[in-house]
Structure 1
Amino acid sequence: MATLLAIKYARGSLEILDQLLLPHRSVYLPLSCTDDGWHAIKKMQVRGAPAIAIVAALALAVELHNSTNTPSSGQEAVKTIHDKLDYLVTSRPTAVNLADAAGKLKAITSAALADDANASPDAIAKAYIDAAEQMLLQDVEDNKAIGRNGAAWICSAASKTADIRVLTHCNTGSLATAGYGTALGIIRSLHAASALSHAYCTETRPYNQGSRLTAYELVHEGIPATLITDNMAASLMSQHPISAIVVGADRVAANGDTANKIGTYQLAILARFFGVKFVVAAPTTSVDLNTPDGTGIKIEQRPGWEVLVVSGPTVTNEPGREDGSVVVNVAEVRSVKPAADGIGVYNPSFDVTPAALIDAIVTENGVVEKNADGVFPMATSFRSDS
């Protein structure tokens, strides 16, 4: 089976799989500069905290490699790079990975100049490009480690190594990272170990990342799975034994409070009611030790039209198809507005799940659990490089 690639990169060239067109059309969008990267992130053509950081870093790397407008000095090159990184961070503020990557890349370019005050602009650009490319490679390895660590923890918590059923929210797979995935990476690892009986994914309104993207990845990987709408979670959990709810994270505060896709908080409440383990999967780049708790996480507010309007390709029902399948016309995309005119809209992209409702935070370095005082020891488990 071909590996699902959301990011195609070679030095001087970057393409992303346009996630607004999935699952019916697979179109790669070329990004040649920081402006292209900023708009692709803002429009959610690329999304997922790890992928956002990687694409932003690589968009600038491509621009630096191909630019014919060379700064006059190494110092000017560093300033230009830092200014462009600051601009990229404004595209989506909630996910800490982007700011973390920008901070590390700033430090690397500043260090290159500090090591050699006469460093040429080309030398500064090369230092940046090398570092951005290393981030791409490291993200895939980190995701695989998260998958292994999370699968082992869930098997242990469930006291079995088979017939495990997992519910996930939003999209946290290859499409949200440089490859493999975080929460969906755990599901992939469970499936590879023959421990997974079934996966369930939510629709994830209003952008439908679950129905469009997670369902697409689960089908692609041949993982037995079922799609539910967001308001079916309680019914599902009351009728079917769920071993764990596994979600990703856009930012984990120092106390374990976690910002993730809107709807995560209510799933955590349901998990506590039904006695289901609630697991957060996040690379350490998502852990923000500089933010004490969830009250300090800025929540992105999205445009109201995302809730009011539904878009997609037109479909035709075929007589005799009792399974509900339809013929999709990918060449004809339409938008419809089911909502009443004049209604107000509340559309936060994320919510914050309190640490009290989380059982484990899985990272590439291991699994963090609460100590005897019921507190996640995040500050002693990780150090901040930002």
Structure 2
Amino acid sequence: MIPTLEWTDQGVRFLDQTKLPLEETYVLATSYQDVATVIRDMIVRGAPAIGVSAAMGMALGIQNSPSTTVAALSKDVDEMAKVLAATRPTAVNLFWAIERIRVLYYQLVDKQPANLSEAEKIERIREEVRAEALRMYDEDIEACKTMGRFGAELLPKEGTVLTHCNAGALATCGYGTALGVIRAAVEAGHKINVLADETRPYLQGARLTAWELLHDGIQTSVLCDNMSGALMRKGRIQAVIVGSDRIAANGDVANKIGTYSVSVLAKEHGIPFYVAAPWSTVDMATKHGDDIPIEERSAYEVTHSNGKQMTPDGCGIENPAFDVTPAKYVTAIITERGVLYPPYDESMRAMEAAVKAEANGVPA
């Protein structure tokens, strides 16, 4: 699989996605501040990958902290969480992962035997936090493969599937969410062609989706973002599948800017519109899409392309990184725990209850 990120003895190693598809280079983060920069600058991107990156950033910070007492280390941990949480506001996986590590840390603090020295306590905490971050990495890959198997059954046995942005191995720890479903369908014998929206202004579709699907031998064509409606009208597209950075409790979906437009076109043409995302992307505390924070990125991403200025000086620039697709346009939401169907406020509450029961040791 494509090595999006990995823990090493020197630090966390990231495939630099800003350099793809022309250069396959890597960045080594040796501090939690480095990890924060990697996330903010989109060297790593995609909600699941961002979450695990943050978890590894927390583990790296705890490992490298010069604090000699647990009390001092706890202050460091709170600062690490604050710095990493400030990187990108929309992807809920970021906050889920930080909180998972932070909660574990304080549980470990409470469990340390009183007869141990401060140095011994800190070393035990470091080992267990690092193990948890690596466990989250493995869980993400397994979740992607499981949702791939669930979602493959929904895709046509033969036909063309449109996707927007990049929700593949590059957006996760491996295999992918939306592209994981496509991969699983191809592995099951479906004859699928992929149309990848270029996804302006950052071109995740043109640069990343096309690169990784071609890497896997899956037939892929790139189209400009304004072409999909015309192709739908001609009957060229049989399904749409995208990822997500946050899903509200009512089924509203935040994804890369332009997704909403694709969903409306799909609805108009009677084409199923699927969303693939791990359960950690579902934010039951956010009741509907209007409450999802939308990241605003630098105007430079719009004004310049490959370092060349494309717009006149002085013009205003809008650059929201995400938009919200209302639940009414979503045919199904594919997770590693199963496929959710409308009405989403009911199906997601039922799945939330099942998750909580499982966490409490109650059989599903």
CA contact (8 A) 1:140 1:180 kept: yes
Whole-Å separation in 2 of the counterparts to 1:221 and 1:239: 28
Is 1:78 equivalent to 2:74 in the alignment? yes
Whole-Å separation in 1 of the counterparts to 2:49 and 2:239: 25
Is 1:301 equivalent to 2:302 in the alignment? no
Aligned position for 2:348:
378
Amino acid at match of 2:190: A
- Comparing 42-51 with 80-89, greater Cα deviation is found at 80-89
Amino acid at match of 1:200: L
**Could you give the per-residue CA deviations for residues 323-375 of structure 1, whole angstroms, max 9, x where no partner exists?**
xxxxxxxxxxxx1112122110111000010001101000001100014xx75
Identical positions, percent: 38
> Residue 53 of structure 1 is aligned with which of 51, 54, 63?
51
The 3-state SS of whatever aligns with 1:275 is coil
Whole-Å separation in 1 of the counterparts to 2:331 and 2:230: 22
> Residue 43 of structure 1 is aligned with which of 41, 47, 70?
41
CA contact (8 A) 2:47 2:93 kept: yes
Whole-Å separation in 2 of the counterparts to 1:8 and 1:135: 12
Amino acid at match of 2:262: L
Aligned position for 1:94:
90
Whole-Å separation in 2 of the counterparts to 1:295 and 1:10: 40
**Count of matched residue pairs:** 351
Whole-Å separation in 1 of the counterparts to 2:341 and 2:215: 32
Aligned position for 1:360:
332
**Could you give the per-residue CA deviations for residues 136-173 of structure 1, whole angstroms, max 9, x where no partner exists?**
11100000011111111335xxxxxx213210000011
Whole-Å separation in 2 of the counterparts to 1:35 and 1:70: 15
Is 1:261 equivalent to 2:256 in the alignment? yes
Runs ≥4 in structure 1, deviation > 6 angstroms? none
Q: 1:98 to 1:375 in 2, by over 3 A?
A: closer
The 3-state SS of whatever aligns with 1:167 is strand
Whole-Å separation in 2 of the counterparts to 1:257 and 1:196: 30
Whole-Å separation in 2 of the counterparts to 1:217 and 1:240: 26
CA contact (8 A) 1:259 1:297 kept: yes
Whole-Å separation in 1 of the counterparts to 2:128 and 2:345: 40
**Could you give the per-residue CA deviations for residues 151-210 of structure 1, whole angstroms, max 9, x where no partner exists?**
11335xxxxxx2132100000111110000000111111111121331110000000000
Q: Which structure 2 residues correspond to residues 132-281 of structure 1 after superposition, within 5 A? A: 132-155=133-156, 162-281=157-276
How far does residue 32 in structure 1 lie from its aligned partner after superposition? 0.6
Whole-Å separation in 2 of the counterparts to 1:339 and 1:104: 43
CA contact (8 A) 1:301 1:348 kept: yes
Whole-Å separation in 1 of the counterparts to 2:346 and 2:41: 34
Amino acid at match of 2:237: I
Q: 1:117 to 1:77 in 2, by over 3 A?
A: farther
TM-score scaled to structure 1, two decimals? Answer: 0.87
How far does residue 116 in structure 1 lie from its aligned partner after superposition? 2.8
Amino acid at match of 1:135: M
Amino acid at match of 1:150: G
**Could you give the per-residue CA deviations for residues 39-74 of structure 1, whole angstroms, max 9, x where no partner exists?**
111111111011111112213323433x2x542322
Amino acid at match of 1:55: S
CA contact (8 A) 1:95 1:251 kept: yes
Q: Which structure 2 residues correspond to residues 285-324 of structure 1 after superposition, within 5 A? A: 285-311=280-306
**Backbone CA RMSD of aligned residues:** 1.8
Amino acid at match of 1:41: I
Q: 1:293 to 1:25 in 2, by over 3 A?
A: same
CA contact (8 A) 1:12 1:61 kept: no
In the alignment, structure 2 segments of 5+ residues that lack a partner are 360-364
Whole-Å separation in 2 of the counterparts to 1:375 and 1:154: 24
Whole-Å separation in 2 of the counterparts to 1:224 and 1:75: 55
The 3-state SS of whatever aligns with 2:153 is helix
> Residue 107 of structure 2 is aligned with which of 97, 108, 111?
111
How far does residue 110 in structure 1 lie from its aligned partner after superposition? 1.1
Aligned position for 1:16:
14
**Could you give the per-residue CA deviations for residues 288-344 of structure 1, whole angstroms, max 9, x where no partner exists?**
011111111000001111101001xxxxxxxxxxxxxxxxxxxxxxx1112122110
The 3-state SS of whatever aligns with 1:178 is coil
CA contact (8 A) 1:15 1:28 kept: yes
Q: 1:140 to 1:345 in 2, by over 3 A?
A: same
CA contact (8 A) 1:23 1:212 kept: yes
Aligned position for 1:4:
2
The 3-state SS of whatever aligns with 1:30 is strand
Whole-Å separation in 2 of the counterparts to 1:153 and 1:237: 18
